[in-house]
Structure 1
Amino acid sequence: MAKASTRTDRPAKKARTEVKAAKPRARFSEPEPTKEKPPKKSVEREVKEVASTPKNKGKAKEINPPEAKTSEEELPTTFKVVAGSYEKLLYGAEGKTTYSDDDKLQFHLKAIFAFPAHVSCIKAVAASPQGGKWLATGSADEIIKVWDLRRRKEIGGLMHHEGSVTHLIFPSRSHLLSASEDGTLCLFRARDWAVLRALKGHKGRVNSMAVHPSGKVALSVGKDKALRMWDLMRGKGVASTKLGKEGEIVRWSVDGKYFVVQSGSTIDLYNTDMTLLHTIQHPSRLHDVKFCQRVSGEGEVLLVGAEDKKLSIYDISEDSSHPPTIIAQMVGHGNRVKAVQTLRIALPPASGRTSTTIVTTVSSDGKIRVYDMYSIPAAFEKVTEIEPVAEYDTNGTRLTCVTVADGDIASSEPTNGKRKHDKEGTDEEDVNGDDDFDGIGSSDEDDEMEDEEEEEEEEGEEE
């Protein structure tokens, strides 16, 4: 990534973020490990309780996930794909769509960077939603690197974990959640990259975590064969249950009504009452799963990447008595599909479609591939094979993880090159009255001010 130029005719600005030694303040007492027992509460009940706590000395603001965007003008017209690898390299590509004179919608991927980002293999990448400003990368070197994706600049390293970083999520544009082999989850505040909470409870490696669409509750699975529930508004564990096997991946459905736990070649589908609805036995070893809303038709599908070199699409019926079935397969990779991510984007008006959802996969074959969710049939007749619409070849690099970030935002209103931000509901205090811990529903106002200052600084450097 390009280094920011230094001006000698003016004093250097002090960095706004200090990320290399951020630790919880001494006044914080870390929650005691959750005892092994079946959860007394369902996820649905816990979310409702958090939201209905009397006044909470503040507002229990919900964090809208990227999928919750409804206005076509808020959707990005371009996107950025970032992938990590065993070879410690980080790859970035910019994607866009065009509509040609021969009435054909085309997708394009152009490489924008490739460089060694860590001293060990990269295991996790995540981009912040609602603008795609921040990029976080986690590695076996136990460090989380933070990057300003818009300016392609490294901000610093978060060195709180004492084990390999296994998973990263931005529950909101102003908070980062991490998981590690040291058995903990950490919640960071993007404003200053301070650690708000270190969530302890797992005995051994945490493999995966998932934040409920409301932003209030998270689930995690690990080597201890436990499924744990965390209250992100209060920053503590609230329940746990034994799965009887090691969960490798946990994921929420887009509407928050279901979640899945993957182990080996098996996927267990649960509802929010922790009732096991179905068990999917996939033909080969699984590496990643993700729920996604349909573009054609109603409902959701489950995207499953596996050793069989395909991304299989399972139909999730709204009738919970109907088992999930494969309706399509995204093909083209020459090796195992390691990771999958999705993003809804705006399309050129001339195409006749206002938007679509892209599916991005990475594989051990070194290829980054993009698919169009519009190709998934609305009604099942036979298993459809779907070819990629764009591709980026890293020349044999063994890719491990991928994230997709917003690019330019479609807008009919002039913004002078600056992003529009939602100013509503920005006041938030801790539900326990602790001014230092404000949960993940905290204010984005400081982040917006920082955005504007950085844009002014960039304009000054260009002049």
Structure 2
Amino acid sequence: MPKHAKAPERPTKKARVEATPKFSAGRVNGSPVPQKKAPTLKGKEKATKPTAENDPLPSSFKVIAGSYEKLLYGLEGTVSYDADSSVLAFELKPLFIFAAHVSCIKAVAASPHGGKWLATGSADEIVKVWDLRRRKEIGGLMHHEGSITHLLFPSRSHLLSASEDGTLCLFRARDWAVLRALRGHKGRVNSVAVHPSGKVALSVGKDRTLRMWDLMRGKGCASTKLGKEAELVRWSSDGSLFVVQVASTLDVYTTDMNLIHTITHPSRLQDVKFCKRVNGEGDVLLAGAEDTKLSIYEISTDPDTPPRIIAEMTGHAKRVKAVDTLRIALPAGAPRKTTTVVCTVSSDGRIHVYDLAALPAATPSSVLEIAPVAAYDSKGTRLTCVTLADGEVAGAAINGKRKRSADDDETQSDEDRDENEEWGGVGAGTAEANGDDGSAWEDEDEAEEEGEGEGEVESD
């Protein structure tokens, strides 16, 4: 990977509350919060990009898992259908296993919607980038000064990383340049989540704050004190809700910062993820925990309807460390055209795949037990993280070659088109601020008076 010359230093910019999702007055941890001017995001109900919705679904998938033992596992997942027995068969086959870092792997992420990039983050403070199609290392991004805690691709064209050094970095996939270094947390950043629109991110950290970032401008724009150190933050698939996890507790908020549900799970949680149902409408919340199960919560937007566990994905012998999901196309003749695969990794060294279609549309009267449809045993490796990537798209081969082969040329690639069409790019977005509503969020300009360096944004 080419080294990038460091840009000339320029004065640190202080963030202001600009155009981002609307958060109005609410309650945090059951206590009223002061009303302040609220940012807003026009069209936030349009949670996904039309281009992504129109992309053909993959007929296979890749599972990539990291481990404490520094090993990176790559598996190919395939689905076949037997018309005689009317049975769908899922299978996992190893693609690669190798030591990817010199320290334990703490985060993995794959670029979405047919993207080719894989990013891995480690306690060695390096983010490594891999080409999944060619199965080779591209290089290392050494911009953090602490262990990598979280990685995600908001689109095929950008990578967002979080670290124990208290910063988030936004990279451009075309040349892996750092577009922005987002500074505001005091201490470790534990988790970051990007709104489905791609315009806003939330992050939580050791400083017990929840911070909001305007990705269109590359600025921190608001923050609120949680009073406790949150470990994870996740958006729902339509961007109308987000969940904050602390130990065995899940707090579910609306975008108005109203706390509508508090869930106390039976054991300590390790990972959570919202996922669209295959049967029926709306999202379910997947929660992996130390009780060896992946619990499925039914979440209502009505505060008077408490969440409850409607199903459990079982089969692991130790704690479930991480979960990811992917929607795929099913073979011709199958009873459904699509389904959603759920993948879990555990400290028992096993990788499990489940079919979310096993969850019926009607809420079961008792907790449904769902068994894995495929599994892989790493023989005792302590797995830490997992991501799912698109495999081959049905009908995408011509004369034995992928239609996407042209993307590997030095001409305009998927990532370039994403940057120009799907993603406005940092500083390219224009939106209007709406300060008519109160907010549970603290304006970063006001926060700066309390602590030096809060909400700072620097360009590398």
TM-score of the alignment, normalized to the shorter chain, above 0.5: yes
For the structure 1 residues 323 and 145, does the alpha-carbon distance in structure 2 shift closer, same or farther, using more than 3 Å as the test?
A: same
Q: Residue 69 of structure 2 aligns to which amino acid in structure 1?
A: E
1:28-61 CA-to-partner distances (Å, cap 9, x unmatched) read 54444789x978455xx4322xx79xxxxxxxxx
Residue 60 of structure 2 corresponds to residue 78 of structure 1 = yes
Partner of 1:158: 141
- Is the contact between residue 232 and residue 439 of structure 1 (CA under 8 Å) also seen in structure 2? no
For the structure 1 residues 118 and 422, does the alpha-carbon distance in structure 2 shift closer, same or farther, using more than 3 Å as the test?
A: closer
Q: Residue 394 of structure 1 aligns to which amino acid in structure 2?
A: S
Residue 220 of structure 2 corresponds to residue 237 of structure 1 = yes
Partner of 1:290: 273
Which of 41, 45, 50 is the equivalent residue of 1:47?
41
**How is 1:17-416 mapped onto 2 (pairs within 5 angstroms)?**
17-18=1-2, 21-22=3-4, 25-26=7-8, 29-32=11-14, 40=36, 42=38, 45-48=39-42, 64=48, 69-71=52-54, 74-100=56-82, 101-380=84-363, 381-411=365-395
C-alpha displacement of 1:63: 8.4
- Is the contact between residue 31 and residue 199 of structure 1 (CA under 8 Å) also seen in structure 2? no
1:56-90 CA-to-partner distances (Å, cap 9, x unmatched) read xxxxxx88469x8545x700001000000000000
Q: Residue 133 of structure 2 aligns to which amino acid in structure 1?
A: R
1:326-345 CA-to-partner distances (Å, cap 9, x unmatched) read 00000000000000000000
Rounded to whole Å, the distance in 1 between the matches of 2:106 and 2:151 is 9
Rounded to whole Å, the distance in 2 between the matches of 1:234 and 1:212 is 15
- Is the contact between residue 39 and residue 239 of structure 1 (CA under 8 Å) also seen in structure 2? no
For the structure 1 residues 307 and 350, does the alpha-carbon distance in structure 2 shift closer, same or farther, using more than 3 Å as the test?
A: same
For the structure 1 residues 189 and 78, does the alpha-carbon distance in structure 2 shift closer, same or farther, using more than 3 Å as the test?
A: same
Rounded to whole Å, the distance in 1 between the matches of 2:208 and 2:217 is 25
- Is the contact between residue 357 and residue 373 of structure 1 (CA under 8 Å) also seen in structure 2? yes
**3-state SS, counterpart of residue 374 of structure 1:** helix
C-alpha displacement of 1:145: 0.4
C-alpha displacement of 1:385: 0.3
C-alpha displacement of 1:440: 9.0
**3-state SS, counterpart of residue 168 of structure 2:** strand
Range with greater deviation from structure 2 (206-215 or 346-355): 346-355
- Is the contact between residue 261 and residue 306 of structure 2 (CA under 8 Å) also seen in structure 1? yes
Range with greater deviation from structure 2 (402-411 or 218-227): 402-411
Range with greater deviation from structure 2 (162-171 or 417-426): 417-426
Rounded to whole Å, the distance in 2 between the matches of 1:167 and 1:263 is 16
Q: Residue 47 of structure 1 aligns to which amino acid in structure 2?
A: L
Rounded to whole Å, the distance in 2 between the matches of 1:160 and 1:439 is 24
Q: Residue 119 of structure 2 aligns to which amino acid in structure 1?
A: A
Runs of 5+ unmatched residues, structure 1: 1-16, 53-61, 442-463
- Is the contact between residue 146 and residue 155 of structure 1 (CA under 8 Å) also seen in structure 2? yes
- Is the contact between residue 126 and residue 168 of structure 1 (CA under 8 Å) also seen in structure 2? yes
Partner of 1:417: 402
Runs of 5+ unmatched residues, structure 2: 18-32, 408-413, 431-460
Considering Cα pairs closer than 8 Å and 6+ residues apart, tell me whether 1 or 2 has the greater RCO.
2
For the structure 1 residues 319 and 398, does the alpha-carbon distance in structure 2 shift closer, same or farther, using more than 3 Å as the test?
A: same
**3-state SS, counterpart of residue 41 of structure 2:** helix
Partner of 1:7: none
For the structure 1 residues 440 and 293, does the alpha-carbon distance in structure 2 shift closer, same or farther, using more than 3 Å as the test?
A: farther
**3-state SS, counterpart of residue 40 of structure 2:** helix
Partner of 2:450: none
C-alpha displacement of 1:437: 4.7
C-alpha displacement of 1:321: 2.9
1:300-325 CA-to-partner distances (Å, cap 9, x unmatched) read 10000000000000001243431211
| Percent identical | 66
Q: Residue 374 of structure 2 aligns to which amino acid in structure 1?
A: A
For the structure 1 residues 123 and 413, does the alpha-carbon distance in structure 2 shift closer, same or farther, using more than 3 Å as the test?
A: closer
For the structure 1 residues 439 and 178, does the alpha-carbon distance in structure 2 shift closer, same or farther, using more than 3 Å as the test?
A: farther
User: How much is the aligned-residue C-alpha RMSD, in angstroms?
Assistant: 2.8
Q: Residue 81 of structure 1 aligns to which amino acid in structure 2?
A: V
- Is the contact between residue 173 and residue 415 of structure 2 (CA under 8 Å) also seen in structure 1? no
